[in-house]
Amino acid sequence: MNKLEIKSRINELKKQLNHHNYLYYVKNQPEISDYEFDQLMRELQELENKYPEFALPDSPTQRVGSDITNEFESIPHIVPMQSLSNAYSFKELKDFLLRVEKGLGISSLEYVVEQKIDGVSINLLYENGVLVHALTRGDGTVGENITKNAKTIRDIPLSIKYRKRIEIRGEIYLARDEFNKLNEQRQKAGNEPFANPRNAAAGSIKLKYSKDTAKRHLNAIFYGMGFTEENEFSYQYEFLQFLKNQGFPTNQNVKKCSSFDEIKSFCNEWEPKRFDLPFDIDGMVIKVNRFDYQKKLGSTAKSPRWAIAYKFKAEEVITKLNRIEFQVGRTGAITPVAKLTPVRISGSTVSNATLHNEDEIKRLQLKIGDYVKVVKSGEIIPKIIGVVFDKRDGTEKD
């Protein structure tokens, strides 16, 4: 590519990423998976690194995705709330560990590995043991004040024994059972169902009236801190125990690991068991255990250098495409929906899959009667990713 084509590609990537950030954080209606989003982000990062003259401060590579809607009061976080970098393979995870070891000049380190709840981040500020406010991640620097709604969540303590000023960070989520009940209610009322529990949680915590949020039966789990008055905490693993002692729900499936093999084994243990949990997890979070090491490693503009999320692969199944129906949404938009032979995937039975638009049907070369590959992860509704052409027998129809 020449310089003009490179600049054009960078602008196109920025446009796509800003569009998908808006759909994910503000509309809670993602069109693509985290993996597909990260592939676009990585391409942009590589181009900006190679051609720094085209790297501008407003690039998505320099900013945390924002959930700010201007419907709630905005309040700054005392310490910024960054997002985690993702690893989609054990090679990428091992590369992260090597970067950490190189950054610290230490070859033997202890890590804490925790389940990555697929929910909505929240930041709680306590002063003199009393909850002052609850903020969304926002743009990482400023969050939206959702205190009234957050107080309806029983997992969030309104007061704690600890008296010093502290920011406690965690995840709001909707349990699978509650998600299924909510979608049944919405469908009976003629409303569009939520695509997944994360989207439902994101919409529920930002409802106009807290009494409506209370009806959604949200949960929360806590795992970290932002600001503290004194550096009296030394280890992530011990801090999780502190949270538990203060009345915050914490994840019980946590492990201290001292090697790549230990971390890999723990990730492999939970990947097939994730669907047995009452809530969605989409991976495992690996953190350097010592806080002084975390401080030394620091952060990039978007992510800490001392932590990473290892993302599970989306489960893939094969089933038959029986027909395609065209649905009209409330805005009048027409969306093709694939009607499938029911198949079990990611802990639930699915019989529909999104096709987005007619161009997607052409791109996939779909025919009625085809056997198709379907994926479903915590980020997206069921989606056809390809046709099993070897199974075609001539009876398929356009």
Give the model confidence (pLDDT) of 288-313 as tens digits.
999 999 999 999 988 999 999 999 98
AA identity, residue 116: K
pLDDT in tens, 74-124: 999 999 999 999 999 999 999 999 999 999 999 889 999 999 999 999 999
Mark residue 150 as left, alpha or beta (left: phi above 0; alpha: psi -120 to 50; beta: remaining). Answer: alpha
What's 315-391's CATH class?
mainly beta
The pTM of the full predicted model, rounded to 2 decimals, is: 0.79
Average pLDDT score over residue span 355-367:
87
What are the angstrom distances between the C-alpha of 301 and each of 103, 223, 314? Answer: 17, 22, 28
Q: Please tell me the predicted confidence (pLDDT) of residue 225.
A: 96
Give the homologous superfamily in CATH for domain 3-62.
Answer: Helix hairpin bin (1.10.287.610)
Asked: is 74-311 a CATH 3.30.470.30 domain? The reply is: yes
Residue intervals of the chain classified under CATH 1.10.287.610 are 3-62
Considering the chain, tell me which residue range(s) the CATH 3.30.470.30 domain(s) occupy. 74-311
Using DSSP's 3-state secondary structure scheme, residue 39 falls into helix
Q: In sequence order, what DSSP letters do the residues of 238-295 get, joined into one string?
A: HHHHHHHHTT----S--EEE-SHHHHHHHHHHHTTTGGGSSS-EEEEEEEESBHHHHH
Nearest to 82 by CA among 66, 96, 70: 66
- pLDDT of 3: 82
Residue-wise pLDDT for 135-178, tens only, equals 999 999 999 999 999 999 999 999 999 999 999 999 999 999 99
Round the CA-based radius of gyration of the chain to a whole number and report it: 22
Selected catalytic residue, list 7, 27, 102, 116 = 116
Residue ranges of the chain that CATH labels 2.40.50.140: 315-391
Return phi, psi of residue 252, to 5°: -85, -15
Residue 311 is a catalytic residue: no
In angstroms, rounded to a whole number, what is the distance separating the alpha carbons of residues 40 and 175?
A: 31
Which helix H or strand E contains 191, and what residues bound it? none
pLDDT band at residue 335 under the 50/70/90 scheme: confident
